[in-house]
Amino acid sequence: MPATYEPIATTTLSTTATTVSFTSISGAYTDLVLVANVQRATTAENPSLTLRFNSDTGTNYSMTNLLGNGSSASSSRQSTQNMMNFSYFSMASAANTFSTYILNVMSYSNSTTYKTVVGRSGDAGAGTQATVGLWRSTSAITSIIVTNDGSPTNFASGSTFTLYGIQAA
């Protein structure tokens, strides 16, 4: 395997948090992969794991989802959103249990096309999800904000977030 899969930055929460930021992302790679292993801090409300690019809070995001909850399969889509959501299942909250997110950001540094994300996420106690997301901007992605969708429930201590860069050549 060529050494083209490189960690850009990693964060392990030492306390609860509503936001994890990856800033000043170099344009030197072809694609990005965000791997997160996340627990919610309380069961008061289920936070979503969502992405924003370049701090864009406009309604420039859309998603199409395929979701299985253990008893039925469904598909949904959301247009004109102000963030990209990868948790339409209940994020893990039980002791020692974390939900997994593997989010592939394609051709993130070009300044010609809108940006697409292919995401897989899930929790064995709640559901599994496949999502394609779109950010309608031609700007190169230089920052990724991972948020909890404004929920009063934070990401728990011990949650991990790593951003990798992949080079085509």
Partner 1 sequence: MANTYVTIATTTVGSGGASSIDFQNIPSTYTDLLVKLSARDNRSGESVTDVLVKINNSSSNLSDRRLFGNGSGAFSDTATTGRVGVEPGPNATSNTFGNFEIYFPNYAGSNYKSYSADAVSENNATLAFTTFIAGLWSQTTAINQLTFYPAASASFVQHSTATLYGIKNT
How far apart are alpha carbons 121 and 49 in whole angstroms? 10
Q: Which is nearer to partner 1, 31 or 123 (CB)?
A: 123
List the interface residues with partner 1, window 31-60 (CB under 8 A).
35, 37
User: Binding partner 1 by CB under 8 A: which of 16, 18, 54, 66?
Assistant: 66
Q: Which is nearer to partner 1, 135 or 164 (CB)?
A: 164
Does the protein bind partner 1 through residue 27 (CB under 8 A)? no
Query: Would you give the binding string for partner 1 spanning residues 119-138, x where CB under 8 A is met?
Result: -xxxxxxxxxxx--------
**What is the nearest approach in angstroms of partner 1 to the Cβ of residue 64?**
14
The closest alpha carbon to 32, from 151, 131, 167, 159, belongs to 167
Specify burial of residue 108 (Cβ count, 10 A radius: 0-12, 13-18, 19+): buried
Give bridge partners of residue 123 from the DSSP assignment. 127
The beta strands (E) that lie in 25-159 are given as: 31-38, 50-53, 61-68, 73-81, 84-85, 99-105, 115-123, 127-135, 144-147
Amino acid 163 reads: L
Give bridge partners of residue 144 from the DSSP assignment. 22, 53
Does the protein bind partner 1 through residue 150 (CB under 8 A)? no
Does the protein bind partner 1 through residue 19 (CB under 8 A)? no
**What is the nearest approach in angstroms of partner 1 to the Cβ of residue 56?**
26
What residues make contact with partner 1 under the rule CB under 8 A? Answer: 1, 3-7, 10, 35, 37, 66-73, 75, 92, 96-100, 102, 120-130, 158, 160, 162, 164
